[in-house]
Amino acid sequence: MQAEIVHSSIENTTFSLALWTPTESDEELLQQWELLATGEQMPPLKASHRRREWLATRLLLHNQGIGRPDVLANGKPVLPQGALSISHCKNSVAVVISDGTIGLDIQEPTEQIFTIRRKFCSSSEWSWLESHAEIVRALTIVWSSKEAIFKYWGQQVDFAAHIEVMPFQCDDPVLDAKYSGVHGERSFRLWHKTMGKLEVVVAL
């Protein structure tokens, strides 16, 4: 397994991130999973890409020494000790673990981001984004930032109304955002890195 590993910290909180883009076929991934003999059964997923995501995630978790996570009713994965977040994008999967609450998102910038822009981007954010030199990439990073914050809380987050991402340049390693909603008010310092074609954002 050729996973890319990052150990980093922000605001005195450390985390470990693993990103993997498997080149194995679906059959090879299944064989690797069956060899682990964990006793866990794959859920009845109809879509082939969802089965591939599930297998890649389980293999990556095992590679990082993480057992089967529990899943809350809202879909948020949890561990007996520490915190976990998982993200997929096309053929890539990433997991991040930390002692404290954490959220992760990975995205590949494409023009399709414009089709959902109004669902996550506030008018004040658009006022500086619309003239950004790298608008597709910048919009993607804003989306990823809000996804990471949503995963930090796990539920009841309105992307456009509750989260405000401050202006940034696309290569900035730290992003600032403010959350105000049902969970109270909180300022986030978000870890950001471009890994291959993917924008990776971690909320701690």
pLDDT tens track for 46-101: 899 999 999 999 999 999 988 888 888 888 888 888 899 999 998 999 999 999 99
Phi, psi dihedral angles at 95 (to 5 degrees): -130, 150
Phi, psi dihedral angles at 80 (to 5 degrees): -60, -35
| CA 41/CA 29 separation, integer angstroms | 14
Phi, psi dihedral angles at 143 (to 5 degrees): -60, -45
Domain boundaries defined on the chain? 4-102, 105-203
pLDDT at 61: 93
175, β-bridge pairs: 190
Find the Cα–Cα–Cα–Cα dihedral 172, 170, 160, 204, rounded to 10°. Answer: -30
Reported pTM:
0.94
Q: Which CATH class is domain 4-102?
A: alpha beta
Contact 51, 26 (CB under 8 A): yes
For residue 109, name the pLDDT band (cuts at 50, 70, 90): very high
pLDDT at 42: 85
